[in-house]
Amino acid sequence: MKVEATNPAVEFHDLTVSYDKKPVLWNIDMTLPQGALIGIVGPNGAGKSTLIKAAMGLLPLGSGYVRLFNQSLDEVRHRVSYVPQRESVDWDFPTSVLDVVLMGRYGKLGLFRRPSNTDKEIAMNCLKKVGMEAFTKRQISQLSGGQQQRVFLARALAQEADIYFMDEPFAGVDAATESALLGILQGLAKEGKTVVVVHHDLQSAAEFFDWIVLLNLRLVACGPIKDVFTNKLLQDTYGGKLTVLAEVGELVKNREIPSREKY
């Protein structure tokens, strides 16, 4: 099952990625639509993080290529934003919440300019969006895991990019906050931004995403959620180890358009 996007923002062409000569992603060939909230779903070790890192140019590609807006990454870098998995940095680093979010502005500042007041306002706004405005001065080690995750999200928002790649941005975030943040991402998609999210919770995926990529070392399926989020394809992805799936299919069916009015 593979549906090509009519107006692609991201194109993976025959992508193969290996660690130490051992391939972990095989022949990924797909397009992702512009202006959509896109979920990448698959079991642990499926290569989801690897796929995103490959798209962000952080890993050498074995073969194939990735194009964004039909251009190479280097040509559109300032339009692309990345939210790494939370474990990738040292949270004891002596820095404040606001300073981390301001990093999102660095790409636009270049070498010599310092963040201006406008940059600070933008950063503050992004912190408000993720509900962290009360923590601006806090050192990042004094945040809970979910709050740290929200700081990363705010940093990405501050970039004002056109494509966002997010690696499990909701790990450790409580359900209510997750829904609120997914609402914000839906809003971005509505504005025409493309948001690609690695996501583990199938329930909320069924509720919020427009487009789904099912991944398990190979591409199992990708396309609009109503075509792809079926029991059969999910069982294929998870190797038949899922039992709660019946409900998930139902959720997608019940959702259709109405759930979009929530925000």
Partner 1 sequence: MDAFYIIATASLFAISCSILGAFLILRKMAMVGDAISHAVLPGIVIAFLFTGSRDSITMIIGAGILGVFTTFLIEFFHRRARLQADAAIGVTFTWLFALGVIMVSLFAGQIDIDQDCVLYGEIAYVPLDLWISESGINFGPRALYVASGILIINLIFLFIGYKQLYITTFDPQYAATIGVGVTLWNYLLMGSVSMTTVAAFESVGAILIVALMVVPSACAYLLTQRLEQMILLGVLISIFISVVGYYLAAMIDGSIAGGIVTVSGCLFLMILLTQVLKKRGAKTTVSSPENLG
Ligand X SMILES: Nc1ncnc2c1ncn2[C@@H]1O[C@H](COP(=O)(O)OP(=O)(O)OP(=O)(O)O)[C@@H](O)[C@H]1O
Interface residues toward ligand X, by CB under 6 A: 19-20, 24, 42, 44-50
- C-alpha 30: how far from chain center: 16
Q: Which residues contact 92 (CB under 8 A, 6 or more apart)?
A: 141
Residues 53-92 that bind partner 1 (CB under 8 A): 53, 56-58, 74, 77-78, 80-82, 84, 88-90
Sign of CA dihedral 144, 202, 5, 58: positive
Residue with Cβ nearer ligand X (45 or 183): 45
Residue with Cβ nearer partner 1 (110 or 240): 110
x-marked contacts with partner 1 along 127-166 as a string, rule CB under 8 A: ------------x---------------x---x-------
Element housing 206 (H / E): helix 202-208
**How many residues does this entry show for the chain?**
263
CA-to-CA distance for 255 and 253, rounded, in angstroms?
5
Residue with Cβ nearer ligand X (53 or 79): 53
CA-to-CA distance for 222 and 38, rounded, in angstroms?
10
Residue corresponding to tokens 């990708």: 222
Give yes or no for residue 50 binding Mg ion (CB under 5 A).
Answer: no
Residue with Cβ nearer partner 1 (34 or 81): 81
Q: How far is the CB of 39 from partner 1 (least distance, A)?
A: 21
Give yes or no for residue 49 binding Mg ion (CB under 5 A).
Answer: yes
Element housing 101 (H / E): helix 97-102
Residue with Cβ nearer Mg ion (84 or 223): 84
Residue corresponding to tokens 């025959």: 14
Q: How far is the CB of 170 from Mg ion (least distance, A)?
A: 13
- C-alpha 10: how far from chain center: 13
Single-letter amino acid code for the residue at 49: S
Give yes or no for residue 95 binding partner 1 (CB under 8 A).
Answer: yes
| Angle separating helix axes 245-255 and 231-238, nearest 10 degrees | 140
Where along the sequence are the contacts to partner 1 (CB under 8 A)?
53, 56-58, 74, 77-78, 80-82, 84, 88-90, 93-96, 99-100, 103, 106-107, 109, 111-112, 114, 139, 155, 159
Where along the sequence are the contacts to Mg ion (CB under 5 A)?
49
